[in-house]
A and B are shown apart, each in its own frame.
Chain A
Amino acid sequence: MTRVILLIVIVSVLTLMIRPLSAQAEESATVGLGKHVGVSLVRLYQGFLSPFMIHCCPMCPNCSSYALQALEKHGLLMGWFMAVDRLLHEAGEVERSSSVFFDRGAHCVYDPVVNNDFWWARDSPEITPDEAADLARDLLP
């Protein structure tokens, strides 16, 4: 019986997490709830656990801020995956990246969300080819 209840709980949580990957999809109430759950958990970590952490993130924005930005931009599921991706590639990025700058007394590697979702979340051009042709005729009669 306990296993059945647990299974129901897990399926419910997964249902909350599922979000259409299309950028055009409207955000439903359950998706918004899932995102807020994720954001709340990260803020909980920032408020109660992060002050006791010795390790200082070498990236900018730091991992928890990155997670917040990813959750806000892409929802719970993809935001979670991107947060895990950031934890995995953090160490290697310090060696790979050339975007290093000095901030608050330490070197930081600049690694924003946009550097890690460009291959699927890039904004498409808003002006269509037909509109572009009309614009060109308008400006160069």
Chain B
Amino acid sequence: MWMVLLAVLLSAQTAQVEASGPEYPPTEILSFADELYRRGDFPSARMEYERFLFRFPDHAGAPEAQVGKARCLFWMGAYNAALEGFKQLARDHPETPVGLEAALMTARCYFIIGETHAAAALYERMIQQSALASPAYRAHFDLGWMHLKESRWSEARKHFEHTEAESPLAFAAERLSAQLTPLPELERKSPQAAGVLSGILPGAGQLYCGQPKDAALAFFLNAVFIFASYQAFQKDMIVLGGFLSLVEMGLYGGNIYNAVNHAHKANQRTQEEYLRSLWQASKLTLKLPYEEEKWYGLMLHIRF
């Protein structure tokens, strides 16, 4: 009898424990999500932020969780999804630190996806509203870098010069501004010249761009097919001659495209090397908040 009673009591206690389950306070969920974010485990952090928002949608920490979730999407490369999140936050919390931060991240999302007009307009607006100064120095720096990437040296220098002296980026901005005085003149290859040279003599444009292997191959292939087409027509092999002529037209056009492409790529490499040397010369201090450090690393690699 007493065994039956004991069994019943034990079952009841187990059921009670199972029904209640562990209770995590909202601050603990949020701090765990922040810790996962800080470690760089963005998918897990995003899940925790979503868990928090699902369980405590009206909690005071909800805007912070929304910012965290959008940041996770940003660092996971889902820029369009992050953009929508940041835009909503900026609209929902205007003229607050959360809203301003969201506006800055919105500008950065636009910067990355190539919507340069939108990014520039947001940065300029932040600078105009420098009464709420927190993001303004970052807006100046980001805008300066955006102008650098588009080779607008004087506009870039102007923004670096306007970076506030008290900001963490002041030292780097000053050095970048100094590197841009006088304005640089990068050695560039003319794509038009490369195209014309290859049009006149296959391979000449490639030589102009410093690609001797490609020049030799282009010259050889075009010479062979032109000679073969000529010989085919001379020997009244019309069909063969026509086919070879068709192939040669493709090779000729491809040779011109190759020369022009090399010129553009050479200019792009020159610009990227210059920007990298500027970055190294700026000696940008990495004693920055975690997100800023990651952002400036990403900005160096953004290719328009």
Residues of B within 8 A of A85 (CB): 254, 257-258, 261
Contacts of B95 in A (CB 8 A): 141
User: In the complex, what distance in Å separates the CA atom of A87 from the CA atom of B217?
Assistant: 9
A64-83 vs B, CB cutoff 8 Å, 1 = contact: the mask equals 00000000000001101111
Contact mask for chain B residues 270-304; partner A; CB cutoff 8 A; 1 contact, 0 none = 00000000000000000000000000000000011
Q: 27 A-B contacts, Cβ less than 8 Å apart?
A: A2-B238, A6-B238, A14-B249, A80-B254, A81-B254, A81-B256, A88-B214, A88-B217, A88-B221, A89-B261, A92-B211, A92-B214, A118-B264, A119-B261, A122-B304, A125-B118, A127-B115, A128-B117, A132-B118, A132-B120, A135-B121, A137-B125, A138-B91, A139-B91, A139-B102, A139-B106, A140-B94
Interface 9-mer from B55-63, B163-171, B239-247: B239-247
A108 to B246, CA, bound (A): 32
**Minimum CB distance partner of A115 in chain B:** B265
In the bound complex, CA of A133 to CA of B250 (Å): 46
A136 and B253 contacting across the interface, CB-CB below 8 Å: no
A103 at the interface (CB under 8 A from B): no
Which B residues have a C-beta under 8 Å from some C-beta of A? 87, 90-91, 94-95, 100, 102-103, 106, 110, 114-118, 120-122, 124-126, 129, 191, 206, 211, 213-214, 217-218, 221, 238-239, 242, 245-246, 249-251, 253-258, 260-262, 264, 268, 303-304
Classify chain A: how many residues form its interface, as a range: 35 or more
B34–chain A nearest beta-carbon distance, Å: 25
Question: Is A116 on the interface with B (CB-CB < 8 A)?
Answer: yes
Contacts of A81 in B (CB 8 A): 250, 253-254, 256-257
Query: How far is it, in angstroms, between the C-alpha of A83 and the C-alpha of B254 when the chains are bound?
Result: 8
Known: A84-B257, A85-B261, A138-B91; 7 extra A-B contacts, CB below 8 A, are A2-B238, A88-B218, A91-B214, A119-B261, A125-B114, A139-B90, A140-B103
By Cβ-Cβ distance, the 6 closest A-B pairs, closest first, are A84-B254, A132-B121, A136-B125, A119-B264, A132-B117, A136-B121
Q: Chain A's interface: helix, strand, loop or mixed, by majority? A: helix
Contacts of B125 in A (CB 8 A): 136-137, 139-140
Given A125-B117, A140-B90, A92-B213 contact (CB < 8 Å) = yes
A129 within 8 A of B: yes
A139 near B242 with CB under 8 A, answer no
User: Bound state CA distance, A33 and B288, in angstroms?
Assistant: 56
Nearest residue, chain B, Cβ from A140:
B125
The answer, among A9, A89, A119, for a CB contact under 8 Å with B258, is: A89
- Which of A126, A131, A140 contacts B122 (CB under 8 A)? A140
> How distant is B162 from chain A, measured CB to nearest CB, in Å?
18
Chain B CB within 8 A of A100 CB: no
A13 to B249 alpha-carbon distance, docked (Å) = 12
Q: Which of A81, A92, A126 has the most CB of B within 10 A?
A: A81
A3, CB-defined interface residue at 8 Å? yes
Contact B116 A125 (CB under 8 A): yes
B250 close to A80 (CB less than 8 A): yes
> Which of chain A's residues have a CB closer than 8 A to the CB of B120?
132
- Are the C-beta atoms of A88 and B121 separated by less than 8 Å? no
Residue from B90, B218, B246 in contact with A10 in the complex, judged by beta carbons closer than 8 Å: B246
- Does A123 count as interface, using CB distance less than 8 angstroms? yes
